[in-house]
Amino acid sequence: MDGMFLLAELRINSLVTLPTKGHIKNALKNFAKGMEGLEKIYDLAMKRIESQGTESRDLAKQILAWIVYAKRPLSAVELQHAVAVRPNTTKLDEDYITTIDNLRSLCAGLVTIDEDSNIIRLVHYTTQEYFERIGDQWKPDAQFAIVSTCLTYLSFDVFKTGSCSSDEDYGERIQENKFLDYAAKHWGQHSAMIEGKHAENTTCF
């Protein structure tokens, strides 16, 4: 998406949540142009996320962390399963699988889903740059949380039968367990990004 079209779309998204005409007029006066405008819109989007209830806010940050730090693009269903993993559990509780609409709406317009590939991503490359720029301010434990999720998932009872006996069996296991491919292939890369106490904690799995 072109930067100017993105700016317009994000501005509209920020305006529709305002309660009165006065709030809208005030916001319009304060809109900046170009990249400065994008930065302010991203800041506003993060404020909207922070203003949500605790569970919705935390889930939104989880979703964003996965998209920002993932080692490859994630499909919407992979992300649905990733954020449904609960700590210290032995199976996936499907009651925690959020809807695809929630993946988008909780993140205040910062994510989109490609209809052809079903890949979920940030709306623009500048969104990635924004999150890299603000670094650990928005989710300081992101990498540790990702590693913990991967290792918890890989420890589920369903995988205790051992390795698959054939490529066909492996393919079926991947189809039945949507987050398995990512967790198995990439948890080590995320673990390598962790330093200090968090790194020590990953050895507990």
Residue ranges per domain, the chain? Answer: 54-205
Tell me the DSSP string of the chain. Answer: --HHHHHHHHHHHHHTT-SSHHHHHHHHHH---HHHHHHHHHHHHHHHHHTS-HHHHHHHHHHHHHHHH-SSPEEHHHHHHHTTPPTT-SS--GGGPPPHHHHHHTTTT-EEE-TTT-EEEESSHHHHHHHHHHGGGS-TTHHHHHHHHHHHHHTSGGGTT-S-SSHHHHHHHHHHSTTHHHHHHHHHHHHTT--THHHHHGGG-
* Crossing angle between the packed helical segments 167-176 and 180-191, to the nearest 10 degrees: 90
pTM comes to: 0.80
What is the per-residue pLDDT for 36? 56
Kindly give the confidence (pLDDT) of every residue in the chain, 205 residues in length, as a single tens digit, with 9 standing for 90 and above: 444 455 566 666 777 777 888 887 777 666 655 455 678 888 988 999 999 999 999 999 999 999 999 999 999 999 999 999 999 999 999 999 999 999 999 999 899 999 999 999 998 888 999 999 987 788 899 999 999 999 999 999 999 988 888 888 888 999 999 999 999 999 999 999 997 545 555 555 5
Give just the sign of the alpha carbon dihedral 175, 188, 72, 110.
Answer: positive
Q: Does domain 54-205 have CATH number 1.10.10?
A: yes
* pLDDT score at 145: 96
pLDDT of amino acid 167:
85
